[in-house]
Amino acid sequence: MPIKLPSFRPRRDAYPPDLWTKCPSCGEMLFNKQLDKVLRVCPSCGNHFRLSAAARLEMLVDQGSFAERDGGLESEDPLGFVDQKTYPDRVAAAQLATGMRDAAVWGSAAIHATPIVICVMDFGFMGGSMGAVVGEKVTRAAEHALANRIPLLIVAASGGARMQEGTLSLMQLAKTVGAIERLRVDGVPFVSLLSDPTTGGVFASFAVLGDVNIAEPNALIGFAGARVTAGTIAQELPPGFQRSEFLFSHGFLDRVIHRSELRDEIATLLRFLVARPAPVPPEGPGGDPLGLPSFRAISFLSNLAERVLPPDPDETGGSTNGHRPGSVTPSAPPEPPAEPPAAVPPPATAAPPVDPAPRVAAEEAERG
- The SS3 assignment for 325 reads coil
| Binding-site member from 39, 40, 42, 137 for Zn ion (CB under 5 A) | 42
Q: Is 230 helix (H, G, I), strand (E, B) or coil?
A: helix
Site for Zn ion in 61-80 (CB under 5 A): none
Range in contact with Zn ion (rule: CB under 5 A) among 8-16, 43-51, 138-146, 226-234? 43-51
Nearest to 68 by CA among 92, 91, 98, 101: 101
Q: What is the C-alpha to C-alpha distance for residues 139 and 135, in angstroms, rounded to an integer?
A: 6
User: Of 39, 47, 159, 220, which lies in the binding site for Zn ion, with binding defined by CB under 5 A?
Assistant: 47
CB of 30 to Zn ion, least distance (A): 7
Count of residues in contact with Zn ion, rule CB under 5 A? 8
Q: Which of 21, 195, 66, 35 is nearest to 124 (CA)?
A: 195
Q: How far is the CB of 347 from Zn ion (least distance, A)?
A: 51
R_g (Cα) of the chain, nearest Å: 25
Contact 117, 153 (CB under 8 A): yes
Q: Which region, left, alpha or beta, applies to residue 236 given φ > 0 means left and ψ of -120 to 50 means alpha?
A: beta
Q: Which is nearer to Zn ion, 47 or 198 (CB)?
A: 47
Residues 86 and 20: their CA atoms lie apart, in Å, by 33
Which region among 26-34, 88-96, 162-170, 229-237 touches Zn ion (by CB under 5 A)?
26-34
CA 49 to chain centre: 19
Contact call for residue 362 and Zn ion (CB under 5 A): no
Which one of 19, 20, 22, 26 is in contact with Zn ion (CB under 5 A)? 26
21 contacts Zn ion (rule: CB under 5 A)? no
Of positions 45, 228, 237, 343, contacts Zn ion by CB under 5 A: 45
End-to-end Cα, the chain, rounded Å: 97
As measured in angstroms, the least distance from the Cβ of 238 to Zn ion is 24
Nearest Cα to Cα of residue 195 among 165, 239, 153, 134 = 153
Nearest CA-CA partner of 171 in 180, 162, 184, 182: 162
Residue 109: strand pairing partners: 116
Residue closer to Zn ion, measured from CB, 45 or 301: 45
What's at 137, amino acid-wise?
K
Using rule CB under 5 A, residue 204 touches Zn ion: no
Give whichever of 48 and 182 is closer to Zn ion, judged by the CB atom: 48
* Residue (23 or 170) nearer to Zn ion, CB: 23
Question: With respect to Zn ion, which residue has the nearer C-beta, 48 or 162?
Answer: 48
Determine if 23 is a binding residue for Zn ion (CB under 5 A): yes
Which among 120, 127, 205, 195 has a CA at the least distance from the CA of 154? 120
Closer to Zn ion at the Cβ: 37 or 307?
Answer: 37
Distance in angstroms (rounded) separating the CA atoms of residues 257 and 255: 6
From the CB of 44, what's the least distance to Zn ion, in Å?
Answer: 5
Which of residues 44 and 302 has its CB atom nearest to Zn ion in the complex? 44
Of 19-27, 104-112, 180-188, 224-232: span binding Zn ion (CB under 5 A): 19-27
Q: Could you give the CA distance from residue 125 to residue 95 in angstroms, rounded to a whole number? A: 7
Q: Which span sits near Zn ion by CB under 5 A: 27-35, 150-158, 164-172, 245-253?
A: 27-35
Q: Using the rule CB under 5 A, is 25 a contact of Zn ion?
A: yes
Q: Interface with Zn ion by CB under 5 A: which residues?
A: 23, 25-26, 28, 42, 44-45, 47
